[in-house]
Structure 1
């Protein structure tokens, strides 16, 4: 089994193998050790794919500081490192709950029998939108009246035309 360690600054080391394969679900029954392995795999996936606004990975210290600021359980960098590497085989439930809250995933994400494909796809989409700058544009429209948002969209369409890009696909209206 590959191992991932934290460096002295609490930065998660890059895990061996692909993050994609680490987050895949298997249908075979799991014992306590493999339950821990699932938690470790999914934590590694989250550390790799849930990034800070600047695109950098969260360090263990940053995650623990945010959990502490939210009144979550006290954990050490070593403890979190053991969870991420799968060394820790019996994680505290409140620690798993706090990590789920920090990474904004349902607690069931860490359940060995839960299919995480949909959550992982959502994480990839958010990362892609952030990388493309779409998130910045969308955030700047918060609070604008619908007419102003329509004006911004018209400007974007015009810029696409000037740049020689094809028209953006129209998204269906929200039925609600």
Structure 2
């Protein structure tokens, strides 16, 4: 996660940032003003590598979030290899693996021991 200072510095360097609006941008950060300018949204979008509509449209935000999650999977070799192997599983096998992952994520090792009985 990016620090607030890193985001602010990048926004101020953006061609979309208008220094005359610095006070308004600070008021937005403090929460005393609402409705950011188009220029600020464009600068934020450029910094985070998302379309400007990410901040305005829930469907775009969901789609971009899904793409980001998928790219995280693609960069992790172990997760990618597991996902590729899971493609070969039967529906029952996939359900079993999903259950095991759920148990591990919950940290409930006693449930996995009971399912072995």
Q: Which has the higher helix share?
A: 2
For normalisation by structure 1, the TM-score amounts to 0.34
Q: Tell me which structure has the larger Cα radius of gyration.
A: 2
TM-score between the two structures when normalised by the length of structure 2: 0.48
